[in-house]
Amino acid sequence: MSENSRKIRLLMELRRQGISDTNVLSAVERVPRELFVQDAFLDQAYENIALPIKHGQTISQPYVVAFMTEALKVGPRMKVLEVGTGSGYQAAILALLCRRVYTVERYRVLLREAEERFAEMRLTNITSRVADGYKGWPEQAPFDRIIVTAAAPEMPPVLIEQLAVGGIMVLPVGRSTTDQQIVRVTKNEDGSIATEKLMAVRFVPLVDGLAQDE
């Protein structure tokens, strides 16, 4: 089967699984996932599964990426923070849907490789740096949207602070891999927050501090 027909099959599967936002589906169509996976998994780039990347991390399952992106309700004028750049795949999807993506990763090597992919795709609206996502990106706050792609034991308070009024954050929350939920947090006009549990998932953990990878 050709790469293109694999991609079409994946898009049909995402639709069948309930992804209906055409902007999200077209972003999945436009981002070459084969650029973001390791060579050993190239033939599985358009399978609807998570795949390993360096340092024991993973590029998320396309369905989970599409689900979280849809839940985030991203608009073209928005400024979005992503915590957990990983391969850069989620950031690339977001870059096609919003004005600017700020993304942070605790592994220098992962970030450098993700940045090479952004350059190859000529995505000029992604700003990235090595940082501890628990601290967010204070110089750029507030953000219209925040997405966290690693599971926190509980909602990180600093990220809630860095969310704009009316803003939305989508993140996996849970202490163990068997008890994680995608949660959507909305910041109301009066500063209070509303939370909705959307779906059970399995993510790698959000880890405190920078990684010693070099």
Tell me the catalytic residues.
60
Q: Which two tokens stand for residue 184?
A: 């959507």
Q: State which residue, 2 or 178, has the beta carbon closest to ligand SAH.
A: 178
Q: State which residue, 90 or 180, has the beta carbon closest to ligand SAH.
A: 90
- Binding part of the chain for ligand SAH, among 2-10, 20-28, 94-102, 202-210 by CB under 6 A, reads 202-210
Minimal distance, residue 147 CB to ligand SAH, in Å: 8
Separation of alpha carbons 161 and 157, rounded Å: 6
Q: Which two tokens stand for residue 67?
A: 């689900």
Q: Is residue 206 a contact point for ligand SAH (CB under 6 A)?
A: yes
User: How many Å separate Cα 114 from the centre of its chain?
Assistant: 13
Strand 193-201 to 180-187 pairing: antiparallel
The correct pick among 63, 89, 102, 143 for binding ligand SAH (CB under 6 A) is 89
Q: State which residue, 59 or 168, has the beta carbon closest to ligand SAH.
A: 59
Separation of alpha carbons 33 and 212, rounded Å: 28
Peptide bond into 142 cis (omega under 30): yes
Q: State which residue, 191 or 209, has the beta carbon closest to ligand SAH.
A: 209
The correct pick among 13, 21, 47, 132 for binding ligand SAH (CB under 6 A) is 132
Q: Is residue 60 a contact point for ligand SAH (CB under 6 A)?
A: yes
Minimal distance, residue 56 CB to ligand SAH, in Å: 9
Task: Yes or no: say if 66 and 45 are a contact pair by the CB < 8 Å rule.
Answer: no
* Of 78, 207, 211, 196, the residue nearest 146 (C-alpha): 78
Separation of alpha carbons 202 and 149, rounded Å: 10
Residues that bind ligand SAH (CB under 6 A): 57-60, 83-84, 86-87, 89-90, 104-107, 110, 132-134, 149-150, 204, 206-207
